[in-house]
Structure 1
Amino acid sequence: MKNLGLMGILVAMFALTGCLDNGGGSEVKQDLNNGDFSVVTDPEEGGGNSGGNTDEGSTGGNAGGGSTPTTPEAKEGLEINKGATLTGSTKLALDFYSPFVAAYVKVSEGDTCATGAWVDYVDSGTLNSSKTNQNVPVSAQFRDHDGRTSACYTRSIYIDQAGPEIIFAKYPSAPVEEGLDVEIVFTVTDVPAGVASVTCSFGTTSKACAAGTNKITFPKMAGGDYSLKVSAKDKVGNASEKSISFKVSSMYKQMVNNVRVNEYQKVDILFVIDNSGSMEYEQKSMASRVRNFLDVVKGLDWQIAVTTTDPVHKTLGDGRLVQLANKPGQYILTSSMNDTDARNTLSSTLQRSETGSGSEQGILAAYRAIERSLSSSGGNANFIRNDSQLAVVVISDEDESANGPKNDPANFVKFVQDSFGAQKAMSFHSIIARPGDQACLKGEGYSAGFRYEQISKLTGGVIGDVCATDYAAQVQGIAEGVRKTLKSITLSCAPVVDAMRSILVLKDGQVYDGTRKMEGLNLVFDQMLPQGNYEVYYSCVK
């Protein structure tokens, strides 16, 4: 911020409209002046109120004890934009109210009067701030010709130049088959100005929408490419716009997955923990809530690591593995560890004490954790093994809060498939504020986890309740789901099964009739698959 004197940003230099010989206040004794020109005042003898204002808005006492006529409250110090607390402009209008007849004024951006320079006093001026989307304090101090200096007066105003935030929570992540309904859920919010208006357009058609959470359903869609555009303005005039596009098709593509199955029972398990402030209640007992997880995966060749939903923290976020509790330099638990040690270490590591970013992005965190493992980055090195299956467990009270490619459920599944040549079965489990669970959403659940629900359904994962007081049953279900991953083949897209299309499985060139069922994109068999080379033929919507 440039100060008012050096940068010439005080304008409208008006002459002072009145002068008082003693500065308009009580006479100040010479021996009360400090060397730095600050003023120390003693109370008047007699114990009464001197009539001077020591705090903004205070009034003098009545020496006679009778009623005092109501008078307008005197202004003192400075005022920004006539007392407004919010503005959409970085150009701030300042009005000055010195407690005495001032010769000079010093204005600083900040609340300590530390950065400004003394300039000739004027009644008003402007300040061009370089700060936006935050509360901006401005302070002023006054001095007369005799060197008397006032206190430092501070006022602040929030400069808001960001449009409303538009987040798409639920939308088609893959082509939709013709004739099906399409549901899109999105939220429009703005802090601190508030949302003034929201408009939605679907092609050339307008759709009703408003601030807050919106759910729009498009019934029985015909084939084609579609886009929903959401535009919003806040109450100080800032605008924003976002759109989501999807495709409706009745065409099918033929797919084949070639998978080599070994008799190993290897699985890598990634916990993604919401460490934001809204999770404080759940975090208090996180260790006890997940205490039985290792009991259910006993006997498997497992590796377990932990990361957080924080997308930006330089040591605990952006998919970096969290250092294990009480184990400096170690980031990965293994099944070769002592059971008691492993259980205590996992519980202590999952219970986070820090307060992470409020922009929770669990899908992104899992995506980045895998990327870091593939590039052998830091503590993530060697976490994802080539010949193991993969399970992700997210525990969060809020949905994925961004819309980038790495936040998308379908993109995450494709990334895993492409990175490991379709050889790795994977499942994504979510302990969340489940959509429609009003008791949780009115309690400790911050917002419904639409995308976590979507990715769990996509991969046959468990969907649990983050508001539950004990996660024991849910954790057991997730651990059993991890075991189920070892009996699964993850397909590249959702297969279509009807009178003309089916799923064909060959083992070493022969039809394999093992009992199975589809759970999302996972073809799950009742029994462990015998070692061999498998081919899975199926059809998907293009």
Structure 2
Amino acid sequence: MRNLGLMTVLLAGLMLTGCLSDNGSTEVPSTGLNNEDFSVITDPNPPPSDNSGGVVTPPGTEIEGFDLNKGAVLTASTSLQLDFFPPFAAAYTSISEDEKCSSTAWRDYDDAAVYSSVKKNQLVPISVRYRDDDGRLSPCYVRSIYIDQIGPNIVFAKYPTAPVEEGADVEIIFNVTDDGAGVDAVECKFAGISKACGAGQNKVIIPKMAAGDYTLSVAAKDKLGFSSSGSISFKVTSLYKNMVHNVKVNEYNKVDILFVIDNSGSMEYEQKSMASRVRNFLDVVKGLDWQIAVTTTDPANKTYGDGRLVTMKGLTNTYILNSGMADATSRTVLSNTLQRTETGSGSEQGIYAAYRAVERSVAGTNANFIRNDAQLAVVLISDEDESANGVKNDPSNFVKYIQTQFNGQKAMSFHSVITRPGDEACLKGEGYSYGHRFAAMAEMTGGVIGDVCASDYSAQVQGIAEGVRNTLKSITLSCAPIVDVSHEVVVKKDGVIYTGSRQVQGLNVVFDQMLPAGNYEVNYSCLK
């Protein structure tokens, strides 16, 4: 670790360049480590979120029915001011917190009232109906207002998921949005130095990093004064550590396959033909002892979210398909199950969903899905990126959890069919936002990165299925091995050097042939 005083001196010279750009990144030439510039590129118009919130058009100058908060479209209070303008001499008024005047409670008419909403941080509809003494009813009048009591949403899309080698450049991408009041101010702070960032998508580029521990923190305030903050930390090191990984390999050919499907509203186009897009998957994994389950990217729904397995369409109380079922039945059931009809949360969290699905399997909630003697493959299909930054949304934490939970004995691969970073044609078409973290998850585990905008998934499904087969020929390590002239990966089987052809793919050592049963030892080096 470098002297903190030296690091402070080096960082004190950092300058921030703020500019607007629609593509690319800014390269800052440097002759040393951390003694030049780091830049922030801010795009104020990132792909919109899938949230349904937003402000509404204020009522016209001629008020009909009632006025809500004097025509305001935004408020920080759940206490709403209603001024009534009935079309006749009203004796009673009913107020409903919906668009249908569903309330059956009537109150004596007064010219105004204060209504306390039970909702917040969303667009709230209020409807009013009048009745006179003769029982005549007015039309149902509707107004809406956005109640905003939280600060802007800060989501880190791209950041180092493993230690960075000294001298390398670091790129961090984060988004700052606010569906209610809108973003008023954003500040990012790196190594204690405050710099101005902006609303929308920000790309921070830090060149030629010196060894040390770093944190980029972001603070944002909306136009109602509500604040929020977030941060991401990473390590830069030039030191290596020697690792030994022991695993017992059997010849069971068992693999548990989890599909994580984006069922948000933005996936409507892709969902229309999902069944035909994945029709050939089972043909490629034929011959393996497989199990398949499906969950969604919804992080909260109590039926199909938070890592819960969904029921297999066409089968009764069945949540898992297996290779012992009839081929035609399995193919039809899987295709129909992957094609979701519900509309799930716009806060897509595919990594979180996979993490929770495994947790639930270990706890017995998703009973019998994760087998101790089977490898694990995850197949994610989404047009957006991971939408939160919790512990279970992080790629490296998910890998670490699998390693710890199964004592390093389970190989894992994660395959992502996404809006691939840099694919502008997809982003401008049906892709909603670049899947930076899903791509990192795939790269980390040697998985396939597919194109969610493709009209036919058959070719990439073929590749993913082959990747699932490769999982059975893999050993997943606890950190990414260094492979250069000074470091190599040495594999021993039952104490003897194993010379089978192999390649390193992220955390996975993938062999060309199935490994014979035995006790294997892998010696390798990683960055600290």
Is TM-score (shorter-chain normalized) higher than 0.5? Answer: yes
For structure 2, which runs of at least 5 residues remain unmatched after alignment? 1-58
Aligned partner of residue 429 in structure 1, secondary structure? strand
Q: Map 1:137-176 to 2 at 5 A.
A: 137-138=125-126, 151=138, 154-176=142-164
Task: Tell me the CA shift for residue 140 of structure 1.
Answer: 6.1
In structure 2, the partner of 1:312 is 300
Aligned 8 A contact 1:99 1:150 in 2: no
- Is the Cα–Cα contact under 8 Å of residues 373 and 384 in structure 1 kept in the other structure? yes
Q: 1:485 aligns with which of 471, 478, 482?
A: 471
Native 8 Å contact 2:158 2:174 kept in 1? yes
Q: Does 1:425 align with 2:385?
A: no
Distance 1:147 1:212, change over 3 A: same
Q: Which residue of 2 aligns with 1:395?
A: 381
SS of 1:493 mapped into structure 2: coil
CA distance in 1, matches of 2:479, 2:154: 29
Q: Contact between 1:222 and 1:248, CA under 8 Å: does it hold in 2?
A: yes
Structure 1 residue aligned with 2:75: 87
Alpha-carbon spacing, 1:410–1:149, altered in 2? closer, same or farther (3 Å) = same
- 2:361 is matched with 373
Tell me the distance in 2 between the aligned counterparts of 1:352 and 1:448. 22
CA distance in 1, matches of 2:258, 2:201: 31
The residue type equivalent to 1:487 in the other structure is K
| The 10-residue stretch of structure 1 (481-490 or 368-377) with the greater mean CA deviation from structure 2 | 368-377
Q: Please report how far the alpha carbon of residue 283 of structure 1 lies from its aligned counterpart in structure 2 after TM superposition.
A: 1.0
Q: Which residue of 2 aligns with 1:285?
A: 273
- Between 1:421-430 and 1:198-207, the stretch displaced more is 198-207
TM superposition score normalised by structure 1: 0.80
When structure 1 is superposed on structure 2, of 306-315 and 406-415 the one drifting more is: 306-315
Letter in 2 for 1:404: G
Contact 1:105 / 1:140 at 8 angstroms: preserved in 2? no
Compute the displacement of 1:358 (Å): 1.5
Q: Deviations over 1:381-420 (max 9, x none)?
A: 1111111111110011111111111111011111111111
* Residues 272 and 140 of structure 1: CA distance in aligned 2, closer, same or farther (over 3 Å): closer
| 2:107 matched residue in structure 1 | 117
RMSD: 2.5
State how far apart, in whole Å, the 2-side matches of 1:470 and 1:76 are. 51
Larger RCO of the pair (alpha carbons < 8 Å, separation 6+): 2
* Cα distance in 1 between the residues matched to 2:333 and 2:120: 44
Report the CA distance shift for 1:429/1:88 in structure 2 as closer, same or farther (over 3 A). Answer: same
Q: CA separation in 2, counterparts of 1:323 and 1:141? A: 43
Q: 1:400, 1:142 → 2: CA distance?
A: 46
Kindly state the Cα deviation for residue 135 of structure 1 after the two structures are TM-superposed.
3.4
Shift of 1:282: 0.8
Q: 1:467-478 maps to which residues of 2 (within 5 A)?
A: 467-478=453-464
The answer to whether the aligner puts 1:460 opposite 2:446 as a matched pair is yes
Question: How far has the Cα of 1:477 moved from its partner?
Answer: 0.5
- Are residues 134 and 538 of structure 1, via their aligned partners in 2, closer, same or farther at CA, if it must alter by over 3 Å? same
Q: 1:301 to 1:84 in 2, by over 3 A?
A: same
Q: Does 1:509 align with 2:495?
A: yes
Q: Deviations over 1:406-442 (max 9, x none)?
A: 1110111111111111111111001111011001000
The one-letter amino acid paired with 1:369 is: A
> Larger deviation: 124-133 or 177-186?
124-133
Pick from 384, 387, 390 the counterpart of residue 404 of structure 1.
390
Q: Is the 8 A contact 2:124 2:146 kept in 1?
A: yes
**Greater mean alpha carbon deviation, residues 356-365 or residues 88-97:** 88-97
Aligned residue identity for 2:108: W
Q: Distance in 1 between matches of 2:67 and 2:268?
A: 39
Quote the residue 1:262 is aligned against.
Answer: 250
Distance verdict in 2 for CA 1:497–1:109, change over 3 Å? same
- CA 290–125 in structure 1, closer or farther in 2 if over 3 Å, else same: closer
Match of 1:340 in 2: 328
Q: Which residue is equivalent to 1:251?
A: 239
8 Å contact 1:90–1:130 — kept in the other structure?
yes
Q: CA deviation at 1:355?
A: 1.6
Number of residue pairs the alignment of both structures matches:
466
Q: Does 1:229 align with 2:214?
A: no
Letter in 1 for 2:314: N
152-161 or 381-390, larger mean C-alpha shift:
152-161
Distance in structure 2 (CA, Å) of the matches to 1:164 and 1:268: 39
Structure 1 stretches of 5 or more lacking a match?
Answer: 1-55, 58-72
Post-superposition shift, 1:208?
Answer: 4.2
Q: Quote the offset at 1:237 in angstroms.
A: 2.7
Asked if the contact 1:88–1:237 (Cα under 8 Å) also holds between the matched residues in 2, the reply is no
Aligned amino acid, residue 194 of structure 1: G
Residues 170 and 185 in structure 1, CA contact (< 8 A), matched pair in contact too: yes
Q: Please point out which of 309, 320, 325 is paired with 1:321.
A: 309
Q: Using the alignment, how far apart are the partners of 2:127 and 2:328 within structure 1?
A: 59
AA at the equivalent of 1:421:
N
Specify the code of the residue in structure 2 equivalent to 1:193: A
Task: State yes or no: 1:274 paired with 2:262.
Answer: yes
Question: Displacement of 1:100 after TM fit?
Answer: 7.1
Amino acid paired to 1:268:
D
Q: 2:516 is aligned with what amino acid?
A: P
Tell me the amino acid that sits aligned with residue 76 of structure 2.
Answer: G
TM-score by length of 2: 0.82
CA apart distance, 1:129: 4.3
Write the distance in 2 (CA, Å) between the matches of 1:137 and 1:337. Answer: 49
> Any conservation in 2 of the 1:105–1:142 contact (CA below 8 Å)?
yes
